[in-house]
């Protein structure tokens, strides 16, 4: 186990050395920050070795992260100057965090009516992964950092780490890995920017996640739990629930959604051990009745929004706000739920002849939910007697999980929901490479996939074979880039030109990976 970690650390050390300190000191742009950050990614060989070793996240992770915090000039308790909300879960934790941030933003500048406490001015939101730009991960008042801000705070952390290493007689080339570094940078940014409150989304797990240096959250939330990241969290729902419950802290109430029984029992046991009040949140009555519109329209988002309502209400109450009725919801909550913007999650876009339906679902359960959401979109757009005449296209990829199982689950869900054994007329399987000629934007570079598989299109060819087995009537294509996949859908749409929005549009679903979705948005924005 230790040998794997040593190889991981050694790999990061060798990679970091590729960028000389002289070069970094000469140039401090956003592009330089992204290039330097990318040296902290672990390559495919290291990630695969960890996955195959079945090495679970371990007790050394948090002490190690605390040391990195100290090297940047902070102690974990320093971050208690901000009111922190910590969110964990398997599905919906990013959406829930976005809902919370959007609701809280409605209270910016409003003084607590209790007469105690100060008004909110700046609200941080830290999430992962990003879609198009890495600076999306660190937001203030629902806006990503500017390129200038990102570069400034990136190199402030970079320099502090190198100075600390030199002072301690250590190699300054040794840095935290990618997610650790961004977590350090997020907390530093929020401290320097005078953020009042921040919503912090876990990366993987909870107990040993890099974000779990938070010592006194105001309130915590745990979204829906399912099987994912089994290589580090374990292969059972009980093990995964144990990890997620690690964000619970004494003195901070924890809210969760309705869970499967095995997961709920673990959460309840962990709450008792930690002296935490755990509350299960059902779907809010006004969301159940569809009387309150959500910025994220899928039915399953009602669960995430309901959790966000409970967490936000608890948080605002502790800040001294008393006029925050949630039964019924007040206007501020309604507006926050409506205004939420969370790209690549239940997102729809229109262009000539195409309705793009975009969601980064990448687990079996989330793919099934995406399938149901797409079926809702089809039903809302096309009458039942027109469905057989309309073209429906799929763009799909999943480079690291069981892609074939995900594709089969998607087909089964859609076939059942639409009552149609042929849910797509066209299916395009591509890699996550963005453009034909230029490859990736630097923000989208990932080195933790098998380069040979990507080059040979191995996963995509396997997906095509699997799809042909379950639906031989689909026009299936395999291409190397997202740009080529988009071009195919646009060619398919030419037959419906001139029929108007919602009339003859191709319904195009893009799913399977947030990396795929990020690249798709980049193509759509760059080649409208």
- Name the binding residues for ATP: 345, 359
| Three-state SS sequence of 350-405 | EECCEEEEECCCCCHHHHHHHHHHHHHHHHHHCCHHHHHHCCEEEEECCCCCCHHH
Angle in degrees, 0-180, between the axes of helices 44-53 and 2-16, rounded to the nearest 10: 170
Query: In angstroms, rounded to a whole number, what is the distance separating the alpha carbons of residues 431 and 134?
Result: 20
Residue closest to 460 by CA, chosen among 477, 440, 483? 477
Buried b (16+ CB within 10 A) or exposed e, 33-53: bbbbbbbbbbbbebbbbbeee
Q: How is residue 111 annotated by DSSP? A: P
Q: How is residue 476 annotated by DSSP? A: E
The maximal CA–CA distance of the chain, rounded, in angstroms, is: 74
- Name the binding residues for Mg(2+): 128, 201, 229
Q: How is residue 110 annotated by DSSP? A: P
| Three-state SS sequence of 167-201 | HCCCCCCCCCCHHHHHHHHHHHHHHHCCCCEEEEE
**How many CA within 13 A on the CB side of residue 312?**
31
Q: In DSSP terms, which residues pair with 281 in a beta bridge?
A: 257
Pairing of strands 506-511, 354-358: parallel
Q: Report how far apart, in Å, the C-alpha atoms of 140 and of each of 134, 146, 240, 479 are.
A: 14, 10, 30, 38
- Name the binding residues: 128, 201, 229, 345, 359
Which residues, including other chains, have CB under 8 Å from residue 149's CB and lie 6 or more apart? 135, 189
Residue closest to 129 by CA, chosen among 46, 60, 41, 45? 41
């Amino acid at each position: 186990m230790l040998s794997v970690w040593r190889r991981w650390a050694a790999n990061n050390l060798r990679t970091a050395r590729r960028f000389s300190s002289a070069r970094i000191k000469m140039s401090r742009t956003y592009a330089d920050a992204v290039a330097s950050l990318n040296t902290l990614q672990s390559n495919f060989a290291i990630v695969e070795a960890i996955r195959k070793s079945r090495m679970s996240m371990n007790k050394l992770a948090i002490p190690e992260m605390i040391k990195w915090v100290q090297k940047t000039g902070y102690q974990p308790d320093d971050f208690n100057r901000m009111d922190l909300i910590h969110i964990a879960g398997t599905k919906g934790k990013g959406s829930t965090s976005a809902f919370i941030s959007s609701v809280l933003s409605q209270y910016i500048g409003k003084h607590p009516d209790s007469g105690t406490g100060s008004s909110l001015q700046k609200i941080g939101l830290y999430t992962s992964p990003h879609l198009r730009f890495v600076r999306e991960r660190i937001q203030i008042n629902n806006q990503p950092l500017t390129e200038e801000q990102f570069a400034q705070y990136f190199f402030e952390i970079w320099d502090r780490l190198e100075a600390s290493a030199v002072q301690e007689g250590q190699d300054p080339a040794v840095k935290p890995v990618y997610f650790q570094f961004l977590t350090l940078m997020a907390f530093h940014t929020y401290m320097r920017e005078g953020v009042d409150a921040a919503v912090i989304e876990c990366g993987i797990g909870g107990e040993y996640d890099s974000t779990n240096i938070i010592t006194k959250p105001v309130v915590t939330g745990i979204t829906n739990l399912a099987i994912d990241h089994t290589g580090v969290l374990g292969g059972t729902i009980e093990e995964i629930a144990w990890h997620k419950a690690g964000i619970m802290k004494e003195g901070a109430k924890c809210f969760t959604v309705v869970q499967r029984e095995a997961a709920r029992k673990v959460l309840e046991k962990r709450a008792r051990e930690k002296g935490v009040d755990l509350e299960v949140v059902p779907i809010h009555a006004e969301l159940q009745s569809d009387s309150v519109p959500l910025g994220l329209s899928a039915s399953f988002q009602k669960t995430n929004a309901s959790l966000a309502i409970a967490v936000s209400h608890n948080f605002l109450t502790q800040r001294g706000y008393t006029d925050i009725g949630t039964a019924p919801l007040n206007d501020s909550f309604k507006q926050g739920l409506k205004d939420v913007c969370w790209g690549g999650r239940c997102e729809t876009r229109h262009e000539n002849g195409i309705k793009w339906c975009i969601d980064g679902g990448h687990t079996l359960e989330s793919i099934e939910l995406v399938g149901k959401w797409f079926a809702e979109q089809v039903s809302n757009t096309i009458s039942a007697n027109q469905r057989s005449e309309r073209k429906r296209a799929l763009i799909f990829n999943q480079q690291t999980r069981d892609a074939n199982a995900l594709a089969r689950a998607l087909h089964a869900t859609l076939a059942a929901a639409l009552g149609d054994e042929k849910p797509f007329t066209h299916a395009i399987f591509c890699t996550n490479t963005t453009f034909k000629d230029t490859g990736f934007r630097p923000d989208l570079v990932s080195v933790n996939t098998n380069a040979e598989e990507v080059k040979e299109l191995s996963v995509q060819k396997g997906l095509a074979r699997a799809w042909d087995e379950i639906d031989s009537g689909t026009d299936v294509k395999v291409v190397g880039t997202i740009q080529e996949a988009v071009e195919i859908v646009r060619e398919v749409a030419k037959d419906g030109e001139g029929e108007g929005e919602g009339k003859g549009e191709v319904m195009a679903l893009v799913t399977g990976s947030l990396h795929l979705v990020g690249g798709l948005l980049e193509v759509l924005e760059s080649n409208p």
